[in-house]
Structure 1
Amino acid sequence: MFGNYLIGLREGLEASLVVCILVAYLVKTDNRASLRPVWTGVGLAVGLSLAFGAGLQFGTQELTFTAQEAIGGSLSIVAVGLVTWMVFWMRRTARHLKAELEGRLDSALAMGTGALVATAFLAVGREGIETSLFVWRSVDAADDGAKPMLGAVLGILTAVVMGWLFYRGALRINLARFFTWTGGLLIVVAAGVLAYGVHDLQEARFLGGLETKAFDVSSAVPVDSWYGVLLKGTVNFQPDPTVVQACVWVLYVVPVLVLFLRRPKSPQRPARSAEGTADGAAGGTAQSPAGAPAQEPADGAPGASTDGAGGSGESSDEPSTRTS
């Protein structure tokens, strides 16, 4: 349940921030008449996500056991790939998200209503498809499908409330820390989903080693105990994984976490030439050509409401984020 709450919160908050940026920009530029197409695109994206999830849930029920396991295992791997790409994408591009979305919105305004609908639909729909796929896999693997679904719904509702508070200016959080912590936790959750996907492929006889257990701690961690349920609900812990499952879990979670938590390298300024250094030492402070002032980096431009949301290496004293 916790894993699905986390994915619902993370994906829902990203979608909420996107909607807040689009709506705030239209209001700020006095384009309130264009709000209806934006909300239409958001509604279509939500509808597509629900339809996609329903298709996954009900479309596989008539298949054979082998086919269900093969599809479930394959889609688990796809879901893990999407989630992994998402956390790294947000880490890399969130700093420029506001400017990028506003640029797209300017182009859409020039093109007409259809472009506005498409802009909102594509921006929100991607998050919805990822959420539907990940939640469906968790529901399919759980003994009680209601709990994972409830966790996802609660996460999305929390994200919607937070998005509204962002827009109203009533909530300020450090998005750099938020996306770093949730991204790291999602990687661990995704590793468990990947291991379950491998187990499904083993049961479908696409992979061997189903009978070869890496360890079995079922007696120490019963699956029906409160701590067994907690571990399974948070990190998809399995007390008796196969050797292949254990190897895949380690080979995924260790390098991915290291890459995700690694401090990004700061861009280095070009070194002065020896001649320029000598001239500066002899004549005082060196002037730029034609006395032009040095330009500030584009990343530091004021008004980027999602600054600092994109990595774990940002300063902790960075101002909190607002979307308006």
Structure 2
Amino acid sequence: MGQVLFIVWRESVEALLVIGILNAWMNHNPEGRAGRPWLWGGVIAGFLAAVLLAIGLFEASALMSEWQDVFQTVMVLSAAALIVHMVRWMRLHGRTLKRDIESGLAAQAERSNWWGVSLLAGLAVAREGSETVVFLYGTLSAADGSTLLSMAGAAAIGFMLALLTFWLLQLGGKVLNWRLFFRVTEIMLLLLAGALLMSGVDKLIEMGVLPALVDPVWDSSSLLDDSTAAGGLVASLTGYRAHPALTGLLSYALFWLGVWFMMYRESRRS
């Protein structure tokens, strides 16, 4: 449940950021007020696109019943890669995002062409919604009816927390600022990407695609058992294993080495 709540919260805040920039500019510029219906039309279209993607993924999974384990493994590993890409994208574009959006809005307002606003709002919602679907696909596909109901509740709480977080961020740093928000959630997202990678590697070991090498390397269940509620939450958010295989540990170490190299290169470039 913690994974669902966190992902919905973080992705909703990102979508609200883009929509909030668009809406604020339109409220403060008389020439932009005519574009409001286009903005909210784009939001609705983006939400529907994310729903269609979710339906398409689960239909594709049902059609590939014989290859379901392979499909789920590919989705989990794709989600891990997508998270790393998203973190990198926000590092590169986060500082200039507001300025870039507002300059584009000004150009659209001059031409009275609001299709671009609808497209931008739709892409923002569709992107965050589709990322949420991809990130949580493995969790949702393995859930039964009662678990899905609990996940829906966690998603609703995550969205309400996103609205609260966005409101706090709009106070201008008095309580919470964007820089701190993105830095903290960036670390949490990378931990989640590592957790998804570990899940994918575990699947590949189960299918015999990868050797375990040494299994287990240690047993830390006396300290924190990942089969308990608390241990399972830590495992789903960080990739922790009480009985890790050596292949999983090597994959996890290579993942963080790659992340460090990416961050180091981007910081040198900036």
Structure with bigger helix share is: 2
Q: 1:92 to 1:170 in 2, by over 3 A?
A: closer
What are the equivalent positions in structure 2 for 1:91-170 lying under 5 Å apart?
91-109=91-109, 110=111, 112-140=113-141, 144-164=147-167, 166=169
The answer to whether the 8 Å contact 1:37/1:113 transfers is yes
Counterpart in the other structure of 2:24: 24
Match of 1:252 among 246, 255, 261: 255
Corresponding residue of 1:297: none
Of residues 208-217 and 102-111 in structure 1, the stretch that sits farther from structure 2 once superposed is 208-217
Deviations 1:57-109 (A, max 9, x none): 344135335x1111111111211111111112212221111111112223333
- 2:211 and 2:189 map into 1 onto residues whose CA distance is 27
Q: Quick one: structure 1 residues 243 and 139, their matched pair in 2 at CA, closer, same or farther if it must change by over 3 Å? A: farther
> TM-score under structure 1 normalisation?
0.71
The alignment status of 1:238 with 2:241, answered yes or no, reads yes
Aligned to 2:53: 52
Task: Point out which structure has higher relative CO (alpha carbons under 8 A, 6+ apart).
Answer: 1
Partner deviation per Cα, 1:244-303 (whole Å, 9 max, x = no partner):
222111110244156548993597xxxxxxxxxxxxxxxxxxxxxxxxxxxxxxxxxxxx
In the other structure, the counterpart of 2:179 is 176
- For 2:264 and 2:184, the matched residues in 1 are separated by 10
CA distance change for structure 1 residues 262 and 138 in 2, over 3 Å: closer, same or farther?
A: farther
Q: 1:147 to 1:243 in 2, by over 3 A?
A: farther
Q: Supply the distance in 2 between the matched residues of 1:209 and 1:256 (Cα, whole angstroms).
A: 24
Q: Which moved more, 1:226-235 or 1:241-250?
A: 226-235
AA matched with 2:53 = F
Alignment of 1:191-202 (within 5 A): 191-202=194-205
User: Which has the larger Rg?
Assistant: 1
TM-aligned CA deviation for residue 6 of structure 1: 2.2
Amino acid at match of 2:43: V
Which segments of 5 or more consecutive residues in structure 1 lack a partner in the other structure?
A: 268-324
CA contact (8 A) 1:214 1:246 kept: no
**SS, match of residue 267 in structure 2:** coil
The number of residues matched between the two structures is 265
Would you say the 8 A contact 1:37–1:117 is kept in 2? Answer: yes
Distance 2:113 2:9 in 1: 32
Equivalent pair of 1:14/1:127 in contact (CA under 8 Å): yes
Cα displacement string for residues 205-250 of structure 1 (whole angstroms, at most 9, x for unaligned residues)? 4x23158524353753444434323323432433334332221111
Separation in 2 of the partners of 1:8 and 1:135?
A: 9
User: Contact 1:17–1:163 (CA<8 Å) still a contact in 2?
Assistant: yes
Where does residue 85 of structure 1 map in the other structure?
A: 85
Q: What TM-score do the two structures reach when normalised by structure 2?
A: 0.83
Over the matched positions of the two proteins, sequence identity in percent amounts to 26
